[in-house]
Amino acid sequence: MRRSVMIAGIAIALAATTAAQSPQKKFMGGPVTIEDQGSFFIGGVTKVSEHAAIPFAPPGQTAVPTPQQITIGQMYVQFQIPQRKSGPGWPVIMVHGSTHTGAALESTPDGREGWYPYFVRKGIATSVVDQSGRGRSGFDQSVLHEAEARIAAGDVKGAAQPCQDTVNALNARRADKLGTAKAEYLKLDEMGMLGVTHMMMLDRRNLEIADVILGWVNRNVRGNGERRRSTN
């Protein structure tokens, strides 16, 4: 037993020595002097909801929801301004796509320097955002809490109301010529697809659901040729 402990101690000491000797991997391609850096939130609207947080009550008492004012739709922005500047002097604002966050612009998955630090090193004042509802911007959890509360109370149809409200808001913007997005609430349970989870792209019936989406696209999205003809 004593010999095993000694061998383990030697192995740990060797690993620690190797780690101390190995240079730490650097993401950036070189040093940079920063004149200023920081972060802030932009945009957002206030909302009063009884479901901003899950209500709590001591044992034996009933939890009563309390109206609270929260801010939703805000966007987180971080920035760096290099001391030595180059180019025309305009700042660059980097906006990620898809379901990513601003972290996608900081470094690559294999550990190389990303666009954000690279632009700063090249003398460009640069900002990176987390789009609203993602990453450090946060998201409106009250709609999830409200749906959970309605389901717990047996109001299954009411739990779906936040989804319908979102669809109505998108179509209202389209009607007011403030956007071009067209939305429709597709209720899979009414199509006979029961037990589908929110991770529907990984669900047991994922390809059936994909066909539903493709069918909606084919019915509602015009092709390039149709779009060109409609503008002539």
- pLDDT, averaged per 10 consecutive residues of the chain (232 residues), comes to 53 53 74 95 90 83 85 94 88 88 90 92 94 91 85 80 83 84 87 81 84 88 54 40
Token pair 């936040």: residue:
162
- Most distant CA pair in the chain, distance: 88
- Residue 24 per-residue DSSP state: P
pLDDT for the residue 230: 42
- DSSP β-bridge partners for residue 193: none
Backbone φ and ψ of 16, nearest 5°:
-65, -40
Q: How many CB atoms lie within 10 A of CB 68?
A: 13
The whole-number pLDDT of residue 101 equals 92
Residue with tokens 């349970």: 189
Token digits of residue 44: 């957002």
Instruction: State how far the Cα of 153 lies from the Cα of 63, in Å rounded to an integer.
Output: 13
The contacts of residue 222 (CB under 8 Å, 6+ apart) are 230
pLDDT for position 231? 39
Euclidean distance between CA atoms 29 and 203, whole angstroms: 42
Cα-based distances in Å from 161 to 79, 155, 174, 196, 202: 38, 10, 20, 18, 24
For 69, which DSSP code?
E
